[in-house]
Structures are given as structure tokens and as C-alpha cells.
Structure 1
Amino acid sequence: MNKFKQEILQHQLNSIEYVKSLNTLSEKEWRAQIHEGKWTVAEIIGHFIPWDEFVLHKRLPYLFSEHELPKCPDSEKTNEKSASISREQNKRVTIDNFVSTRKALYKAIDEIPNDRWEVKFSIGKTTLSLYEYFKGLAQHDLHHFEQIKNTIRLLM
């Protein structure tokens, strides 16, 4: 297996396991803001779901086709909507939705041929490889996971 693909797939599995581990959080920890005026743990996890769905349905099918990539949704509106849903939703539902969406993304990534991982493509004016694209998404995940870990540490 391509080493880049393997790295990204491992990240996807690790992220699923990490988010599943958040089931052990108390309601107070789950609803804790990462900083004053910032998102809660619940909102952070919830915001991943529409973006994973976007990558799954509006990026991957188009990356190596002749069709133009669909426009990215308005990030502010998408994030606010997902945060709002997560504020109202039960912790288990948010985590289960994350896990099922991320598993679908994992499966789609796993189906990408090994020879595609270093092929360059363009998103707007940016040219990058599939590995670079998914590495950026993984770094975004890890940034938020670190915020969550720091928040939980402070509550203990």
C-alpha cells in the first residue's frame, strides 16, 4: 500500500477511536468551552460531520474527473449550523454520527488507487496532491483534538 495512503487511513482510524473515547466524558466536560467565547467539545466534534460529508460527496468523486469541483459551502454558515445541532443533540448521537461519517470517508479513501496519491490537482488557485490535501485535513483534526485534550485536562 502507498505509504501516504497508509498514513491517512491510520489517521482516520485514530480519529474514530479518539472520538469514540469521548463517550466517557461527563455532560459538563462534553459541554465545556475550549476557551471563553469559543466552541464546546460537542460543537467541535459536531462540526467535523458536514465537512467529512462534503469531502465524501463533493470532493472525492470529482478530484480526478473532468468535471469541475463543486464550490465549497460557506464555512461560517456550515460551522454555525453544525454547532447549533451539536448544542441540542445527545452526546451519543453526535459521536455516532461522527463515527459513521468518518467510517464512510475511510472506506472511500481506502478505495483510492495507490498511484493517485502524488498526482497534483487544483482547487481554485491551489495545486496540491491528494496526500497534501488529506494531510491538511488531518492537521485540522489534530489541532481540534489537542484543544479538547487541553480543555479536559483543565477540568480535572
Structure 2
Amino acid sequence: MRSETKNIINAFSDYSSWLNQLQDIDDSLWSKPIATGKWSVSEIVAHIIKWDHHLLSEIIPSVQKGDGMVFPEYDPFNKKASDYAKSGVSQSQLLEEAKNKRNQLINKLNELSRETLYKPLTANGITHCPHTGTPYSLIYIVKEMIDHDHHHQKQIIHFLKQSN
């Protein structure tokens, strides 16, 4: 695997280690919205678990078959993640699940050929990202997910700093 690909997958795996920083969050902060109208830390972690699961169970198999990638409607999909976080799942269980799911995803990505990772495919029928004009591929989606991780990590870090 070329170093660029390896760097992207390694950057994606960093989230799993970062989760260790959340193990000692006080229960009151774990379930408290990070801002008015926003999710809690637990809901954000559940949200990322659900997206990792979708990549693992739907996107990668579809890519391996040479089919396009299909992403669900965001709001109902994200609501399921929020509901799961509020279902009584413990902080330690949710963090463990998040690490396991991301590690499964990283292992799967590492098994894929460069050709599979970079093959141009559609995302919900669209060939190119409307923001960048870049052709969609699995590796492009992984890079998007890294940005998604960073967005939520920054939110959590800011919230925790404000709360101390």
C-alpha cells in the first residue's frame, strides 16, 4: 500500500485512540448537550459508530461489487444514533463499541486493494463531489469521514474546556 493511502487510513484510525480521552468524563457531562440544540458527547460517539457501521456493512460491500455507494437520509439515520445513546447504554460500553467498530473498519480498509479504494464510483448516484469537483471513491469518502471526525472532536474538546 502506498504511503499516501497508509497515511489516510492511519489518520482515520487516530479517532479510536482519541476516544481514550473520553473515558474519564463525568457522567453529568457525558449526557449533557454540548450546546443549546446540539447533541451530547454520548450522542456524538453513537453517531460516529452508526456511520462506521454503515461504511462497514453497506458501503464497502457495495464498492467491492463495483456498485455505487448509497448513503441514507441523514436526519432519520442520525436520530437512530441519538436514540441509541439515550437507550441506557453505558459510557464504557459505548466507548468500547466505538473503538471496536472503528478498528474493524480500519482492518477492512487495510485489506482492500489500492484499485478498490481509488475506483471512481457514484455516491447516491452522483459521480463528483459538488463542493470540490473530485470524483467520488471509497478513499475520498474516508477522507470526508476524517474531516467529520475532526469536526465532532473539536466540538467535544471545546465543550469540555468550557465545562471545566
Under a length normalisation based on structure 1, what TM-score does the superposition of the two structures give?
0.89
Which residue is 2:142 aligned to? 134
Matched, 1:26 2:26: yes
For the residue of structure 1 that corresponds to 2:122, the secondary structure is: strand
Measured against aligned partners, the alpha-carbon deviations of 1:72-107 in whole angstroms (never above 9, x if no partner) come to 333211211211111232101111111111111011
Which residue is 1:35 aligned to? 35
Identical columns (%):
22
Measured against aligned partners, the alpha-carbon deviations of 1:42-64 in whole angstroms (never above 9, x if no partner) come to 10001111211111111111214
Q: Give the conservation status (yes or no) of the 8 Å contact 1:49–1:101.
A: yes
Alignment gaps of 5+ in structure 1: none
Under a length normalisation based on structure 2, what TM-score does the superposition of the two structures give?
0.85
Which residue is 2:121 aligned to? 121
Q: Give the conservation status (yes or no) of the 8 Å contact 1:5–1:110.
A: no
Cα distance, 1:15 vs structure 2? 0.2
Give the distance between the partners of 1:40 and 1:126, measured in 2 at CA.
34
Which residue is 1:95 aligned to? 95
Give the root-mean-square deviation of aligned CA atoms: 1.7
Cα distance, 1:36 vs structure 2? 0.8
How many pairs are equivalent? 155
Counterpart of 1:150 (choices 130, 143, 158) is 158
Relative to structure 2, which stretch is displaced further, 25-34 or 131-140?
A: 25-34
Equivalent AA in structure 1 for residue 126 of structure 2: K
Q: Give the conservation status (yes or no) of the 8 Å contact 2:31–2:42.
A: yes
Q: Which has the higher strand share?
A: 1
For the residue of structure 2 that corresponds to 1:121, the secondary structure is: coil
Give the distance between the partners of 1:67 and 1:117, measured in 2 at CA.
13
Structure with the larger RCO, 1 or 2 (CA within 8 Å, 6+ apart): 1
Which residue is 2:75 aligned to? 76
Cα distance, 1:31 vs structure 2? 1.7
Which residue is 2:133 aligned to? none
Measured against aligned partners, the alpha-carbon deviations of 1:130-149 in whole angstroms (never above 9, x if no partner) come to 32221111101100000000
Give the distance between the partners of 2:122 and 2:73, measured in 1 at CA.
19
Relative to structure 2, which stretch is displaced further, 81-90 or 101-110?
A: 81-90
